[in-house]
A = this chain, B = another copy of it.
Amino acid sequence: MSEHRGYNGKALEFLKQNKLKVGDVIKITTDSDQTGTIMPRFEHSDDRHIVIKLKNGYNVGLELNQIKKVEYISATQANQEENKQVKPNQALPKILLLSTGGTIASRIDYRTGSVTPALTAQELNASVPELAEIANIDAEVLFSEYSENITPDHWIKIAQRLDSLSKSDYSGIIVAHGTDTMQYTAAFLSFSLSGFPKPIVLVGSQRSSDRPSSDAALNLVGAAKFIVRCDTSGVFVCMHNSESDEDIACHLGTRVRKNHTSKRNAFETVGARPAFVISQDKITQNFKNAYFGQKEYAPKINIDTKAALVKYHPGYDPKLVEDLLDHGCKAIIFEGTGLGHVGKPMYGVIKKAKEKGVFLGMTSQCLDGQVNMSVYESGRDLLHLGIIPLSNMVAETALVKAMWALANGKNTEEIMLKNVASEFTE
Contacts and interface: CB of A to CB of B under 8 A. Distances in A.
Contacts of A309: 311, 313
A403 B316 CA distance: 11
A424 to B, nearest CB: 14
A149 interface: yes
Contacts of A81: none
Contacts of A260: 366-369
A342 B148 contact: yes
16 contacts: A44-B375, A146-B377, A148-B336, A148-B338, A148-B376, A152-B314, A180-B337, A181-B313, A259-B368, A262-B369, A266-B366, A308-B317, A309-B311, A311-B311, A313-B396, A320-B323
A337 B375 contact: no
A375 B366 CA distance: 29
A213 interface: no
B369 A338 contact: no
Contact of A315 (B151, B262, B365, B377): B151
A344 interface: yes
A150 interface: yes
A184 interface: yes
A271 to B, nearest CB: 8
A364 interface: yes
A256 interface: no
A387 to B, nearest CB: 13
Contact of A259 (B261, B335, B343, B367): B367
B372 A262 contact: yes
Given A337-B181, A376-B146, A258 B366 contact: yes
A263 interface: yes
A69 interface: no
A388 interface: no
Interface residues of A, number: 65
A308 B320 contact: yes
Contacts of A181: 313-314, 337
B338 A179 contact: yes
B378 A341 contact: no
A315 B335 CA distance: 17
Interface string A172-186: 000000111100110
B371 A314 contact: no
Interface of A: 43-44, 146-152, 154-155, 178-181, 184-185, 258-263, 266, 305, 307-309, 311, 313-315, 317, 319-320, 323-324, 327, 335-345, 364-372, 375-378, 396, 399, 403
Contact of A262 (B259, B339, B403): B339
A103 to B, nearest CB: 8
A261 B395 CA distance: 13
A336 B377 CA distance: 33
Contact of A338 (B151, B258, B327, B403): B258
Given A44-B372, A181-B313, A184-B314, 10 more contacts: A148-B337, A150-B343, A151-B343, A179-B338, A259-B366, A260-B367, A305-B317, A308-B317, A315-B403, A367-B367
Of A262, A266, A307, A378, the most chain B CB neighbours within 10 A belong to A262
Contacts of A146: 341, 376-378
B327 A317 contact: yes
B308 A343 contact: no
A180 B339 CA distance: 8
Contacts of A340: 261
A371 B43 CA distance: 14
A315 B339 CA distance: 27
